[in-house]
């Protein structure tokens, strides 16, 4: 696309836009400067295919909004965090809109593994922590499921209801509750019917401490023995893995650790550490599966012996 056609509809300064596009062409393989204008390279098209998410408004693409846009305020005040002059959550906050947008687009890559982990005869699927778009994916793929979304933030629930409606998924039941207030939200579920609880936020729930997470698993085992619990996580990689994966994936893994540990909004655990939490919670069995998306793994947890029949 010609420079003017890119700049004019968006009210952008052409000289600044050209400088930025030339920089991208020079340091990465995503764009090419051709006689016909700037266009996606074959690699760039592959990036769009992997990270793009088809929505009612067109394709949304996550170019790591979480790492850059959302954490811009944090990166600019690292010195203050180091000295204690800045305290995350009090004097310093990340840009939440970027984080939400990045999560909504990138979570699409986890949908195939999630859908595969849900048994054909499951009747219910409940997501812990919304704003991922995964409920919409399930709603389109498995219209036989009764869907629930759980979050303690009423604004997040309202926003997700609007997004789901836009995607023509209108059969989601929204539950406003704290995750660890299990008596409150489990009572809303028809626990005699087999179902699946899933989340991609387990590392963030670790901010409340390992003990609370183990007790959560214990409560689920007790109250929902015929259910499965599916957690999709990018585990902390051991040193030995560095020679086995690409440099980009190794760096991505460590940036994931950095952004969560830096502001103490979660903990990134190894595969064995996640497995031990489920074992200590009394789960009947844990099946760890690759998702085929970056280094994320799906922890498919059979809460009780009855869950094995699903």
CATH number at residue 193: 3.40.50.150
Dist CA 209 CA 200 (whole Å): 17
Is 47 inside any structural domain? no
The predicted structure's pLDDT at residue 53: 67
Beta strands 285-290 and 124-128: pairing type?
A: unpaired
Beta strands 31-34 and 37-40: pairing type?
A: antiparallel
Predicted TM-score (pTM) of the model is 0.75
Is 44 inside any structural domain? no
Is 77 inside any structural domain? no
Dist CA 182 CA 80 (whole Å): 38
Is 243 inside any structural domain? yes
Is 38 inside any structural domain? no
What are the start-end ranges of the E strands in the chain? 31-34, 37-40, 52-55, 58-61, 124-128, 146-151, 172-176, 195-199, 228-233, 285-290, 297-302
Q: Say how many domains are in the chain.
A: 1
- What would the pLDDT profile of 124-134 be if each residue is shown by its tens digit? 999 999 888 89
Rg, Å, the chain Cα set: 21
Is 153 inside any structural domain? yes
Is 3 inside any structural domain? no
List the strands of the sheet with 297-302, edge to edge.
172-176, 146-151, 124-128, 195-199, 228-233, 297-302, 285-290
Is 131 inside any structural domain? yes
Interaxial angle between packed helices 134-141 and 154-166, expressed in degrees from 0 to 180 and rounded to the nearest 10: 40
- What would the pLDDT profile of 6-43 be if each residue is shown by its tens digit? 888 888 888 888 888 888 888 777 889 999 899 988 88
The predicted structure's pLDDT at residue 301: 97
Nearest CA to 136 out of 100, 160, 109 is that of: 160
- For residue 293, the enclosing domain spans 102-309
- What would the pLDDT profile of 262-282 be if each residue is shown by its tens digit? 877 789 999 999 999 999 999
Least confident of 4-8, 120-124, 147-151, 206-210: 4-8
At a CB cut-off of 8 Å and minimum separation 6, what does 197 contact? 125, 126, 127, 128, 220, 224, 227, 228, 229, 230
């Amino acid at each position: 696309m010609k420079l003017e056609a890119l700049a004019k509809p968006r009210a952008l300064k052409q000289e600044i836009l050209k400088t930025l596009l030339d920089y991208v062409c020079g340091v990465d393989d995503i764009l090419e400067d051709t006689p016909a204008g700037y266009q996606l390279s074959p690699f760039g098209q592959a990036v769009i295919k992997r990270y793009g998410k088809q929505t009612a408004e067109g394709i949304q693409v996550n170019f790591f909004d979480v790492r850059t846009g959302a954490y811009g305020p944090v990166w600019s005040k690292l010195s203050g965090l180091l000295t204690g002059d800045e305290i995350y959550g009090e004097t310093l906050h990340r840009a939440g809109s970027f984080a939400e947008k990045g999560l909504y687009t990138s979570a699409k890559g986890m949908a195939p593994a999630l859908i595969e982990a849900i048994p054909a005869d499951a009747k219910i699927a409940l997501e812990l922590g919304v704003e991922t778009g995964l409920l919409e994916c399930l709603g389109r793929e498995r219209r036989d499921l009764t869907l629930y979304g759980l979050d303690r933030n009423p604004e997040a629930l309202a926003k997700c209801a609007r997004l789901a409606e836009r995607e023509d998924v209108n059969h989601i039941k929204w539950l406003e509750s704290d995750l660890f207030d299990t008596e409150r939200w489990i009572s809303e579920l028809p626990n005699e019917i087999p179902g699946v609880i899933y989340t991609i936020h387990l590392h963030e729930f670790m901010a409340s401490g390992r003990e609370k997470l183990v007790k959560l698993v214990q409560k689920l085992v007790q109250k929902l023995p015929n259910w499965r619990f599916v957690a999709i996580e990018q585990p902390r990689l051991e040193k030995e893995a560095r020679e086995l994966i690409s440099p980009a994936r190794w760096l991505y893994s460590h940036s994931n650790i950095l952004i969560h540990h830096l502001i103490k909004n979660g903990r990134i655990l190894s595969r064995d550490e996640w497995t031990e939490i489920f074992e200590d919670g009394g789960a009947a069995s844990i099946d760890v599966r690759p998702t085929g998306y970056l280094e994320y793994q799906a922890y498919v947890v059979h809460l009780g012996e009855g869950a094995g029949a699903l």
